[in-house]
């Protein structure tokens, strides 16, 4: 068994979430229910055949509803978790950091703060005086770190940055009683990175199917979209001013330099206004479609071959393809869009 890179003990923990569960649960569970073991997702990856992942508690009826798609090979592991990359002690500490974030920036607290913050670009900055910025920063650093060591979607941080975050986590878990950590406490941070956190609006309710999890392959900044949240992590302060990463339009609606100035050394959220939120969502759908076209065409051919036992001709392939985007455009999740695209095929005369 490998050693935990944070503390050196045996890396014995199974099912370590790369991104905290509360950030992804609406995106990857049946009907956005957020219930554990009800995960339902396809892996759409150009390098592997399409597989279906269904959590233990997804009912057989739901799977039968999927018709022939139910025959797809099963992904055995949740694509958003990894086994044995860290130890259970460090995982528990990370969960404590997550719980503090989820409580300090939970819906009730945001409700109380919204409308009172300073306007910055097309957003309002909400800061919490009770929630110490060092704990906030360490959590966000840890998310990028976990995605990197778990190679989520092929993502990796440069070794230099990964090591710095690892040092922060080691020192902190070694010196601080994390289990009893309170939001107002300070934790040691040897290495700091500018961070900008944003939240889409509406931040509660709304359409549960407009949910995406993406780690862009950009470095200036590293950029993660997870459900209603986005996180930017900059390697250096000097990169903020020269940032040209479009980030689906976030760059224009909330300039990183302005955002950093308004949030430095504070635990914060930029609550994006509704117009900017829907612009960004529309851009994700559009750009997602472009970069995924080839992977998707290959997947459609494979799925079709598996279900019908013969290769889809060009016409059928394009038909499924167009129906997929039609469903995606009206706000269905990636998963449901593919399912419905195949349903549509059955309706053809």
Q: Does 110 bind Zn ion (CB under 5 A)?
A: no
DSSP structural state of residue 3: B
Using only the alpha carbons of the chain, give its radius of gyration.
Answer: 21
- Segment near Zn ion (CB under 5 A); pick from 35-43, 45-53, 80-88, 135-143: 80-88
Point out which residues pair with 29 in neighbouring strands.
39
Strands 123-128 and 118-120: antiparallel
- Segment near Zn ion (CB under 5 A); pick from 12-20, 89-97, 268-276, 300-308: 89-97
- Segment near Zn ion (CB under 5 A); pick from 13-21, 81-89, 141-149, 307-315: 81-89
Cβ proximity to Zn ion: between 14 and 329 the closer is: 14
Distance CA 44, CA 29 (A): 16
Point out which residues pair with 120 in neighbouring strands.
123
Query: Nearest 5°: CA angle at 122, between 121 and 128?
Result: 80
CB of 16 to Zn ion, least distance (A): 11
Pick from 41, 45, 15: nearest CA to 29: 41
Pick from 31, 84, 89: nearest CA to 58: 31
CB of 284 to Zn ion, least distance (A): 35
Cβ proximity to Zn ion: between 89 and 343 the closer is: 89
From 4, 215, 271, 280, residue interacting with Zn ion (rule: CB under 5 A):
4
- Segment near Zn ion (CB under 5 A); pick from 79-87, 157-165, 202-210, 239-247: 79-87
From 19, 52, 87, 259, residue interacting with Zn ion (rule: CB under 5 A):
87
Cβ proximity to Zn ion: between 7 and 307 the closer is: 7
CB of 149 to Zn ion, least distance (A): 12
Distance CA 333, CA 240 (A): 33
- Segment near Zn ion (CB under 5 A); pick from 21-29, 90-98, 256-264, 280-288: 90-98
Cβ proximity to Zn ion: between 127 and 167 the closer is: 167
From 7, 102, 176, 282, residue interacting with Zn ion (rule: CB under 5 A):
7
Backbone φ and ψ of 128, nearest 5°: -115, 125
Contact pattern from residue 233 through residue 262 relative to Zn ion, giving x for each residue in contact according to CB under 5 A and a dash for the rest: ------------------------------
From 16, 52, 54, 90, residue interacting with Zn ion (rule: CB under 5 A):
90
Cβ proximity to Zn ion: between 6 and 40 the closer is: 6
State the chain's maximal CA–CA distance in angstroms: 68
CB of 13 to Zn ion, least distance (A): 8
CB of 136 to Zn ion, least distance (A): 22
CB of 76 to Zn ion, least distance (A): 25
Distance CA 12, CA 31 (A): 32
Distance CA 40, CA 335 (A): 8
CB of 125 to Zn ion, least distance (A): 35
Q: Does 6 bind Zn ion (CB under 5 A)?
A: yes
Cβ proximity to Zn ion: between 89 and 325 the closer is: 89
Cβ proximity to Zn ion: between 39 and 91 the closer is: 91
Q: How many residues bind Zn ion (CB under 5 A)?
A: 5
Omega within 30 of 0 (cis) for the link into 223 = no
Q: What is the 3-state secondary structure (H, E, C) of 44-111?
A: CCCCCCCEEEECCCCCHHHHHHCHHHHHCCECCCCCCEECCCCCHHHHHHHHHHHHHHHHHCCHHHHH
How far CA 156 is from CA of 12, 143, 193, 223, 231, in Å, comes to: 22, 12, 16, 12, 16
Residues that bind Zn ion (CB under 5 A): 4, 6-7, 87, 90
């Amino acid at each position: 068994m490998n050693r935990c890179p944070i503390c050196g003990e045996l890396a014995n923990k199974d099912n370590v979430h790369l991104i905290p569960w509360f950030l992804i649960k609406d995106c990857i569970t049946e009907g956005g229910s957020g219930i554990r073991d009800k995960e339902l997702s396809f892996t759409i990856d150009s390098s592997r055949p399409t597989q279906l992942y269904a959590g233990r508690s997804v009912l057989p009826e739901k799977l039968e509803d999927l018709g022939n798609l139910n025959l797809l090979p099963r992904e055995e592991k949740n694509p958003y978790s990894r086994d044995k990359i860290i130890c259970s002690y460090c995982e528990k500490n990370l969960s404590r950091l997550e719980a503090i974030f989820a409580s300090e920036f939970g819906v009730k607290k945001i409700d109380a703060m919204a409308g009172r913050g300073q306007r910055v670009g097309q957003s309002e900055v909400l800061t919490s005086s009770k929630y110490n910025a060092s704990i906030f920063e360490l959590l966000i650093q840890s998310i990028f770190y976990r995605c990197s060591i778990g190679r989520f979607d092929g993502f990796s941080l440069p070794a230099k940055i990964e090591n710095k975050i690892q040092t922060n986590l080691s020192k902190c878990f070694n010196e601080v009683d994390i289990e009893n950590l309170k939001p107002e406490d300070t934790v040691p941070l040897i290495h700091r990175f500018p961070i900008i956190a944003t939240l889409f609006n509406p931040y509660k309710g709304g359409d549960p199917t407009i949910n995406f999890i993406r780690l862009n392959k950009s470095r200036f900044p590293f950029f993660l979209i997870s459900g209603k949240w986005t996180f930017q992590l900059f390697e250096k302060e000097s990169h903020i001013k020269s940032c040209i990463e479009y980030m689906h339009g976030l760059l224009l609606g909330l300039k990183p330099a302005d955002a950093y100035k308004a949030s430095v050394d504070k635990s914060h959220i930029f609550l994006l206004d509704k117009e900017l939120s829907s612009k960004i969502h529309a851009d994700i759908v559009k750009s997602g479609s472009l970069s995924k076209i080839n992977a998707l065409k290959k997947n459609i051919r494979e799925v079709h071959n598996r279900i019908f036992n013969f290769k889809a001709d060009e016409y059928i392939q394009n038909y499924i393809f167009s129906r997929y985007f039609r469903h995606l455009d009206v706000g269905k999740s990636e998963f449901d869009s593919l399912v419905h695209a195949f349903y549509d095929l059955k309706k053809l005369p």
